Every structure is written in C-alpha cells, then in structure tokens.
Amino acid sequence: NMHLKSYGERAKQQTNPAAIQLLQTMERKKTNLCVSVDTPKSEDFLAIIDAVGPYSCLIKTHVDILEDFDYSVIERLEELSKKHDFLIFEDRKFADIGNTVTLQYAGGVHKIAKWSHITNAHPVPGPSVVQGLASVGLPLRRGLLLLAEMSTKGTLANGAYTEAAVQMARQNRDFVIGFIAQRRMDGVGAPPGVDSDDEDFLIITPGVGLEQKGDKMGQQYRTPQQVIVESGCDVIIVGRGIYGDNPKAVDLITSRAERYMKEGWSAYLDRISG
C-alpha cells in the first residue's frame, strides 16, 4: 500500500519530474505542509512566503488575487523558491476547452506555465482539458492535479464524478500526478486489471485547520491527523490557519507554520509506521 511507503521511496517510483521533485523535497525537508497564501498585496504575499518557506514543501498561490501584480512578483517568488527549497503550485483550476486552457496556461499576464511547477484543473470539460494543458506543461516538466473532490459543503464533486476524474488521470499518467481530494484515490472506480497497489497518486488536501471547523462561506476544516492518518492524504494545505487575519504578524505566522509542519510530519510518521 502506497500510503505506507515513505515519500522518499515513492519518489523513486514516480516518472513525472514535478512529482519526483515534490516527494524528494518533502523527504529532505521533513515537511508535508503546503502554505496557501491568499493576500491582495504583493508585499504581504512575499513577506509571508519568506517567513513560511523554511517549513513548506510547496507554496500555493492564487496570483489573480494580487491587486498590484506585475511580473517582478514572480521573479521574487522564484528567488524565494530557490532560497527556501519549495515548489510552487498555482491553484488556477483550469476548466475550459483545450485550446483556451492552453492560452491561459502559457500566456496572458501571469504566464503560469513558466514558473508554477504544479497547477490544477477541473475534470468537467473531459480529457481535452488535460490534453491542452499537457501540450504546454509536459515540455516544461510540469505536473497537473485534477480536482476529484472539494473541501466545501455541498460540493458536486463526488460519486461517479470523482471516479471519472480518477479514470481521466489513469489515462494521462505522464502529466497528471494526482488529485486535489479529501482521501486516497488509488483504486477508486478502477476498471478490472488496474492494481490499486501500483497506482501512486499524490493527494494534496485543502481544508486543514487546527482551531476552526470551517468559515462562514462553506469551507470545512479537518486536522492534519484526520487528513494524513485517517484519510491517507499526502500534503496538507493550510491558509488562514497560518496567516490568520493579520498578514503583517510575521513572527506569529512563522510559529504557526512550524506548528503545522510538526503536526503534519508526526501524523505522517504515525501513518508509515502502520
């Protein structure tokens, strides 16, 4: 069972360069924490990333939130990624026809494919969304996560939809490295002949918080223990649980990141020890 193996062992079985790099980074830094940095000012955005970078394997962005965006923010972000040894995940949630997502991924103001090791897509358009993104991302050694489930109350991404998302990933294993989901997906909706022990999808999981159960807009939180041990997910995504409501409180943000890193890693050690 893949979820009982170490991140380092799993890195050896992956083929996609972004998946390998992420798993190796997790093993090397001993962290499965991804910090989600959703603040409108690029100065705060970069200061938070500089503070949490040492504790993170991955930094998740929504660059379209930045009200003062210009491309120099990306150059600074890339410097921080090298300084602190983390990967970048732009949570873009592509969801259009192949031709359109190709243009959105490669170009526009943000040029996501140039700098984001990992991005994600809704499976709702069908396999063409993956084909379009792969045509841009594969030559750049990028990886894609499909949204198989969401953390929100009332999500429509469940049942047959989730199974179809996993099937879509199976058919594009060179580029699709795993899922945004709330549980392990190895073997989900698998046709006969697929050995779920051979599948090793990375599960990156939002909706993680230690203090709150949710927010006022349908977000639902679980603890690192529930996510990593009980549900077999690989990476915890934490946003407001770390930067709270004050993006300037850098010392507090640093200590919270350290706390989530420790909680996530000890949950992982519990899991792989069976």
Annotated catalytic residue 29:
no
CA-CA-CA-CA dihedral for 143, 148, 152, 156, to nearest 10: 140
DSSP string covering 33-84: EEEEE--S-HHHHHHHHHHHGGG-SEEEE-GGG-TT--HHHHHHHHHHHHHH
Q: How far apart are CA 156 and CA 218, in angstroms?
A: 13
Q: Radius of gyration (Cα) for the chain, nearest Å?
A: 17
How many other CB atoms are found less than 10 A from the CB of residue 74?
Answer: 21
Q: How far apart are CA 52 and CA 258, in angstroms?
A: 8
Q: How far apart are CA 219 and CA 232, in angstroms?
A: 20
The reply to whether 36 sits near ligand 5BU by the rule CB under 6 A is yes
Cα 2 from chain centroid (whole Å): 18
Residue with nearest beta carbon to ligand 5BU: 239
Give 109's contacts (C-beta < 8 A, 6+ positions apart). 69, 71
| The one segment of 8-16, 126-134, 239-247, 262-270 that binds ligand 5BU by CB under 6 A | 239-247
Annotated catalytic residue 70:
no
Quick one: tokens of 32?
Answer: 């499965």
The reply to whether 207 sits near ligand 5BU by the rule CB under 6 A is yes
For residue 239, say whether it is annotated as part of any ligand binding site: yes
How many other CB atoms are found less than 10 A from the CB of residue 204?
Answer: 25
The reply to whether 180 sits near ligand 5BU by the rule CB under 6 A is yes
Least CB distance from residue 248 to ligand 5BU, whole Å? 17
Least CB distance from residue 240 to ligand 5BU, whole Å? 3
Give whichever of 198 and 215 is closer to ligand 5BU, judged by the CB atom. 215
Least CB distance from residue 112 to ligand 5BU, whole Å? 15
The reply to whether 240 sits near ligand 5BU by the rule CB under 6 A is yes
For residue 82, say whether it is annotated as part of any ligand binding site: no
For residue 38, say whether it is annotated as part of any ligand binding site: yes
Q: Which of residues 136-165 bind ligand 5BU (CB under 6 A)?
A: 147, 150-152
196, containing H or E segment: none
Annotated catalytic residue 64:
no
- Alpha carbon distances (Å) from 223 to 106, 195, 198, 244: 35, 30, 28, 16
Least CB distance from residue 274 to ligand 5BU, whole Å? 29
Nearest Cα neighbor of 220 from 230, 231, 228, 209 is 209
Give whichever of 159 and 193 is closer to ligand 5BU, judged by the CB atom. 159
The reply to whether 239 sits near ligand 5BU by the rule CB under 6 A is yes
Least CB distance from residue 270 to ligand 5BU, whole Å? 22
Give whichever of 98 and 207 is closer to ligand 5BU, judged by the CB atom. 207
Binding site for ligand 5BU (CB under 6 A): 36, 38, 62, 91, 147, 150-152, 180, 206-207, 219, 237-241
Catalytic (active-site) positions: 91, 93, 96
Binding-site residue numbers for substrate are 38, 60, 151, 219, 239-240
